[in-house]
Amino acid sequence: MKSFLPSLLLKCLFISLIAVKAHGENLPEHPNVLFIAIDDLNDWVGHLEGHPQAITPHIDQLAKRGMFFSNAHCQAPICQPSRTSLLTGTYPFSNGVYDVEQNMRDAPLVKDAVTIPQYFRNNGYRTLAAGKIHHRTMEEEGSWDEYGGRRGWSWMGDHIGPDGVSGLPEPSIFDFGPVPFEADEMNDMRYTDWAIQQLKQPHAKPFFLAVGLTTPHLPLFTPREFYEQYPLSEVKLPEVIPGDLEDLPPMGRKFTRYFDTTPMSHHNITRHGLWHKAVASYLATATFTDHCVGKLLEALDKSEYANNTLIVLWSDHGFHIGEKMHWEKRSLWEESTRVPLIISAPGITTPASSSPKAVGLIDLFPTLVELCQLPEKSGLEGRSLVPLLKDPQRSWPYPALTTQLPGNHSVRTEHWRYIHYVSGDEELYDHRSDPHEFSNLAETPEYLAIKKRLATHLPKKEVPSGPRLPRRTYTQPFDWTQP
C-alpha cells in the first residue's frame, strides 16, 4: 500500500499538469477582454461549415483555442436592434428598438441603459475601441476611455465611381467585387492596427478592448488578392431547390420580396449572371476579415497580455446570398439568424470544444460579467453561458429568440426552428433532417404538439417601437404587418 500511494500521487500530479497545459493559465480575477465584433458575417467560416470553400484559418484557429457555439443566433436580423440587444442585454420586444432606422438612445426603455462597455468602465476597466461596436458612431460616446474612430466607404468613391465594380446597373451600396486598394488601406485594417498599438502599451488597469470589423457588410469590397482566392469558375453556389417557396405562408413569401425593387434582388443578380461573383465577393470579405482577426491574435500572443486575456468573437447577424431567393438579412430563417460565436477563456474553456445548444448574443452580457467576476448586473434578460463553457453538452432548455419588427418571431432550439408572424402565419423546420429549411412542417398535423410547445416561448408582451428616423435612400418602404 505504501508503494502504491506515491505512484498514485505522481499520476495525479501528471494528469493535473496536462490539464493545466491544455487549458492554459487560469484567468485572473479581472481578466482583460478582447471583444471582436464582426458585421454581417454568417456561418461561411470553416468551423461552422456554412460554405465548403470558406477560407478562414485564423477564426478557425481561435475556435480551436477556445470554444465555439455551433447554434448561436442573433436577437434581430439587422444591425441596430441586434447590437442594441447585445449591448444592453435586453430583447427587442423589451427595449423597443426593432429596426435599423432608430437611434438606441431615442428609445425610452433603453435611453439610460448601461451597456457592456459602460458597465466594465464603471467597474474599474479601461475601455478602448475602434470601428463599429454600436450601430451609429454617435452612440459610441460615453462608452470608451479612448476611441480610435471609424469611417465609411465614401473615401473610395473617387477611385471606384458611381458604376461600382459588380456590374449591376446603379448598384448604390449593393455592390461587390475587388477594389484597387491594398489590405492596409482598408478600414478594418486601420481599426486592427489601432488595436494592435493598444496591445503594445502598458495598462495600469485591466482593459476591455473592442474591435469592430465592418466587413463583410455591404458593399462587399476587398483587395484583389482576397477576391482571387475564389475563381468564379470554381465557386459553389448556395444550395437551393425548385419550388422552395411554395410551402411558405403568405408572410414567409413576402419576406423574400424585400429587395425585389432594388439591385440586390435575386432576379436582378441572376439575370445579369452575377450570382457567382456575389458569392465569391462574400467569401473574399470573410477571408479578409479573417486576415484582420489573425493580425489581432498574433499581436495579442506577442504581448504581455497573452495569458490573462479573455477573447470573444461574434457577428451581429447572418446574411443571405440567394438562399430562399433572398438577399442580405431581415429574415427569420437560419441564414439571417445564425452567427459565429467563439469564447476563449483560459482555465475555463476546453480547447477545440463546441456546443450544439441554442444560445443568443443576448447571453454575452451576463457571461462576461461572470467570467470577469464583476458585480451581478440586474435587468439582463440573457443567461450566462459559463455553465456551457464548462460543460458544452449539459442540459440547456432555453431557445434562442429572434425578432424581425413587432410581432414576427423565431424560436430556435437544438433541433427545431418555429416561426410565428404577426399575421398568425407559421413555419416549422426540423434541423436534424432539414438543415436548409426546405420543408415547412407547420401545416402537418403530426407536428401540432411540437408547434404548441415551441410557441410557449414566444414573448407574452411586446413594447411599442421607439421613435423612427427618416427612411434612408437604400432602405425600402415595406409593410411588415401583413402579407
pLDDT score for 20: 37
Give the dihedral of Cα atoms 377, 383, 385, 387; nearest 10 deg. Answer: 100
Helix orientation angle between 275-302 and 187-199, rounded to the nearest 10 degrees: 10
pLDDT score for 12: 40
How does 28-51 read in b/e, with b if 16+ C-beta sit within 10 Å?
bebbbbbbbbbbbbbbbbbbbebb
Distances (CA, A) of 389 to 36, 106, 120, 177, 401: 18, 35, 21, 38, 20
Amino acid at 415: H
Neighbours of 142 (CB within 10 A): 11
pLDDT band at 282 (very low <50, low <70, confident <90, very high): very high
Torsions phi, psi for 350 (to 5 deg): -85, 125
- Domain boundaries, given as residue ranges, for the chain: 27-455
| Cell (9 digits) for 362 | 443576448
Distances (CA, A) of 475 to 38, 99, 135, 274: 21, 11, 16, 22
| Cell (9 digits) for 263 | 439591385
343 has a pLDDT exceeding 90: yes
CA distance 63 to 344: 8
Torsions phi, psi for 99 (to 5 deg): -140, 170
Give the dihedral of Cα atoms 481, 321, 285, 33; nearest 10 deg. Answer: 50
Which residues lie below 8 Å from residue 2, measured CB to CB, with a gap of 6+?
none
CA distance 217 to 227: 15
Q: For residue 115, give the 3-state DSSP assignment.
A: coil
pLDDT score for 1: 38
Question: For cell 458611381, what's the residue?
Answer: 162
Antiparallel, parallel or unpaired: β 409-412 and 416-420: antiparallel
CA distance 147 to 135: 15
pLDDT band at 25 (very low <50, low <70, confident <90, very high): low
130-152 per-position pLDDT tens digit: 999 999 988 998 999 999 999 88
19 has a pLDDT exceeding 70: no
426 has a pLDDT exceeding 90: yes
388-399 per-position pLDDT tens digit: 999 999 999 999
CA distance 333 to 390: 29
CA distance 59 to 376: 30
6 has a pLDDT exceeding 70: no
Range with lowest mean pLDDT among 78-87, 171-180, 473-482: 473-482
9 has a pLDDT exceeding 50: no
CA distance 168 to 166: 5
Average of per-residue pLDDT across 270-298: 98
| Cell (9 digits) for 458 | 414566444
Mean pLDDT computed over every residue of the chain: 93
Average of per-residue pLDDT across 39-57: 98
283 has a pLDDT exceeding 70: yes
Average of per-residue pLDDT across 163-191: 94
57-113 per-position pLDDT tens digit: 999 999 999 999 999 999 999 999 999 999 999 999 999 999 999 999 999 999 999
| Cell (9 digits) for 388 | 456551457
17 has a pLDDT exceeding 60: no
DSSP single-letter state for residue 377: P
CA distance 195 to 131: 10
Give the dihedral of Cα atoms 72, 74, 77, 82; nearest 10 deg. Answer: -160
Q: 27-455, what's its fold?
A: Alkaline Phosphatase, subunit A (3.40.720)
pLDDT band at 274 (very low <50, low <70, confident <90, very high): very high
Percent of the chain with pLDDT over 90: 85
DSSP single-letter state for residue 425: -
24 has a pLDDT exceeding 70: no
Average of per-residue pLDDT across 375-390: 98
Q: For residue 440, give the 3-state DSSP assignment.
A: coil
